[in-house]
């Protein structure tokens, strides 16, 4: 078999990934797919003049169709929900450079996380490889620092991870083969952009992890052993497969695939609806007359035109009628139903959210969607932390890196009733002031940087008169509660 051989699971999912990506991309990508997403009407008749993607009718049919990008807007809303707060991150000394350049091309760590979450929502799969520039044996850490050699996290899309194998080693299921499809510029013209495929093959040998490049189905480099900071071979491949369900090598479902499929069906209904409106939306004039050809030309020299500014002669038994097709809402109703289906699947961006809806009602309504997003966010956070550890091992840095993407996707607002209830619970010693502080901080009423001890210290210096007033209010509230009971 050749290096370009595809894993059976890869071949099974590649079309689904492409469809979802096109659906997210929008109208340009969908219409470029032509018959892939919008079948040619009556193409089975084989009439090349009236049918086929190059026919005039199909071009008009395609042009009138409207693709409303529900799935793309849903993805943007989900990414926005996860990053409505900045990720929590803490990098050991020596790894701070990753915060501004995580991938070696100037992409910040936060932006890198956003890009990966977006990718995961589209395909349910992403691949992160930690790599380090090749150096000669015997190069010291000081020399590497002078040359500014740094480890980075290299992302690969699901479509690039074409083949893989795992092996059970000492009771652990480890990745033993990974084939990554890349592109390189192969153009003698300095202004050209012709690219060709190359394959980066990662293997886990008996004595460690290796890399090797292939072009035209043949190796173009030696099999090299990347080293850690201690000059030792890696005993595993520093690559993590991030999934929508878990971070193993199995292919997980793409979270947005179902919405994308319905969105494309909505687009097909739109094409039928728009063509029907165009064909039957205008009345058609039917004429009968008893004139000869010469008489017709004599009485109607300028032909027949619709409107009231001109009369026509049709002869003794002539008549004129306007015929118009009755309304047919089948395609329009199908579009409405598919829009409801997308809402049910999770396209919350198109939901009509009333102004009177409470935060709790919104949380319940979005619970299924948030659960999927929560799994993806959790898996991605774990994968990035693992990559940070590997970067530290490449660089010879000790420490505990931290990176966590926000998992509170909705606003936990506090209304006056809730604040009053929290105060009552504190008075009855059911919860503590620290509990209230954390809840108020979650609601965004307190700056995220402030600590509970800081608030207590500041409260000791407050105005005594204000303190007495607050005490009186508290006593009045307690009395009102007692009277109510």
Report which listed range, 51-55, 64-68, 442-446, is most confident: 64-68
Strands 152-157 and 161-169: unpaired
**How many separate domains does the chain show?**
2
Percentage of residues of the chain with pLDDT beyond 90: 43
- Please report the sign of the dihedral spanned by the C-alpha atoms of residue 407, residue 413, residue 418, residue 419: positive
Whether residue 250 lies inside any domain: the answer is no
Which segment of 49-63, 99-113, 380-394, 415-429 scores lowest on mean pLDDT?
415-429
Query: Which of 268, 296, 323 corresponds to the end of one domain?
Result: 323
230-251 confidence digits (pLDDT tens): 889 999 999 999 999 999 999 9
376-400 burial code (b ≥16 CB/10 A, e <16): bbebbbbbbbbbbbbbbbbbebeee
Whether residue 18 lies inside any domain: the answer is no
pLDDT band at 287 (very low <50, low <70, confident <90, very high): confident
pLDDT band at 462 (very low <50, low <70, confident <90, very high): low
Give the chain's mean pLDDT: 80
Which segment of 206-210, 337-341, 466-470 scores lowest on mean pLDDT?
466-470
Residue 348: predicted pLDDT: 44
Which segment of 7-11, 53-57, 124-128 scores lowest on mean pLDDT?
53-57
How far apart CA 402 and CA 263 sit, in angstroms, is: 38
Once rounded to an integer, what is the mean pLDDT over residues 270-294? 76
Whether residue 200 lies inside any domain: the answer is no
Whether residue 467 lies inside any domain: the answer is yes
Domain that includes residue 292, residue range: 283-323
Whether residue 433 lies inside any domain: the answer is yes
What's the token pair of residue 356? 């009177």
Query: Which of 323, 344, 377 corresponds to the end of one domain?
Result: 323
Whether residue 146 lies inside any domain: the answer is no
Query: Which of 274, 306, 323 corresponds to the end of one domain?
Result: 323
Spell out the residues 6+ positions from residue 11 whose beta carbon is closer than 8 angstroms to its own: none
pTM of the entire structure?
A: 0.74
171-226 confidence digits (pLDDT tens): 888 999 999 999 988 877 778 888 899 999 999 999 999 999 999 999 999 999 99
Q: What is the CA radius of gyration of the chain?
A: 33
Once rounded to an integer, what is the mean pLDDT over residues 409-425? 68
Whether residue 15 lies inside any domain: the answer is no
Whether the pLDDT of residue 119 is over 80: the answer is yes
Per the model's pLDDT, the better-predicted residue between 433 and 337 turns out to be 433
pLDDT band at 289 (very low <50, low <70, confident <90, very high): confident
pLDDT band at 473 (very low <50, low <70, confident <90, very high): low
Whether residue 363 lies inside any domain: the answer is no
13-63 confidence digits (pLDDT tens): 999 999 999 999 999 999 999 999 999 886 555 555 456 788 888 899 899
- Name the E strands within 355-473: 402-404
299-326 confidence digits (pLDDT tens): 778 777 766 666 667 677 777 766 655 6
């Amino acid at each position: 078999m050749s290096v370009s051989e595809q894993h059976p699971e890869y071949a099974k999912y590649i079309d689904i990934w492409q469809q979802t990506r096109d659906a997210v991309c929008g109208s340009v990508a969908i219409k470029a797919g032509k018959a892939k997403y919008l079948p040619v009407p009556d193409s089975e008749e084989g009439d090349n003049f009236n049918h086929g993607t190059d026919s005039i009718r199909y071009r008009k049919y395609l042009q009138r169709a409207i693709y409303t990008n529900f799935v793309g807007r849903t993805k943007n809303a989900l990414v926005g929900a996860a990053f409505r707060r900045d990720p929590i991150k803490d990098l050991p000394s020596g790894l701070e450079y990753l915060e501004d350049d995580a991938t070696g091309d100037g992409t910040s760590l936060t932006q890198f996380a956003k890009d990966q979450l977006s990718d995961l929502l589209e395909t349910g799969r992403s691949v992160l490889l930690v790599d380090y520039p090749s150096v000669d044996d015997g190069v010291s850490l000081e020399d590497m620092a002078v040359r500014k050699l740094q480890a980075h996290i290299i992302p690969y899309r699901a479509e690039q991870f074409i083949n893989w194998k795992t092996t059970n080693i000492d009771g652990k299921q480890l990745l033993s083969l990974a084939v990554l499809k890349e592109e390189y510029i192969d153009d003698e013209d300095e202004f050209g952009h012709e690219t060709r495929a190359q394959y980066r093959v990662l293997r886990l040998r008996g004595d460690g992890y290796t890399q090797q490049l292939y072009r035209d189905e043949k190796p173009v480099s030696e099999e090299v052993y990347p080293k850690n900071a201690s000059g030792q071979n890696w005993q595993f491949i520093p690559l993590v497969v991030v999934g929508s369900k878990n971070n193993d090598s199995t292919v997980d479902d793409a979270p947005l695939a179902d919405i994308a499929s319905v969105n494309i069906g909505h687009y097909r209904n739109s094409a039928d609806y728009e063509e029907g409106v165009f064909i039957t939306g205008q009345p058609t004039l039917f004429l009968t007359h008893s004139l000869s050809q010469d008489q017709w030309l004599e009485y109607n020299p300028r032909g027949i035109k619709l409107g009231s500014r001109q009369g026509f002669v049709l002869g003794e038994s002539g008549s004129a009628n306007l015929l118009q097709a009755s309304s047919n809402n089948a395609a329009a109703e199908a579009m409405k139903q598919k829009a409801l289906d997308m809402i049910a699947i999770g396209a919350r961006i198109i939901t009509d959210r009333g102004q009177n809806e409470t935060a709790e009602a919104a949380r319940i309504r979005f619970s299924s969607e948030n659960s999927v997003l929560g799994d993806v966010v959790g898996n991605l956070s774990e994968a990035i932390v693992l990559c940070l550890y590997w970067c530290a091992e490449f660089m010879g840095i000790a420490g505990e890196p931290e990176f966590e993407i926000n998992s509170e996707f909705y606003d936990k607002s506090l209304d006056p009733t809730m604040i009053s209830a929290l105060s009552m619970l504190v008075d009855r010693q059911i919860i503590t002031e620290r509990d209230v502080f954390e809840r108020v901080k979650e609601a965004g009423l307190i700056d995220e940087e402030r600590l509970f001890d800081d608030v207590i210290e500041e409260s000791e210096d407050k105005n005594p008169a204000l303190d007495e007033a607050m005490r009186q209010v508290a006593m009045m509230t307690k009395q009102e509660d007692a009277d109510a009971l």
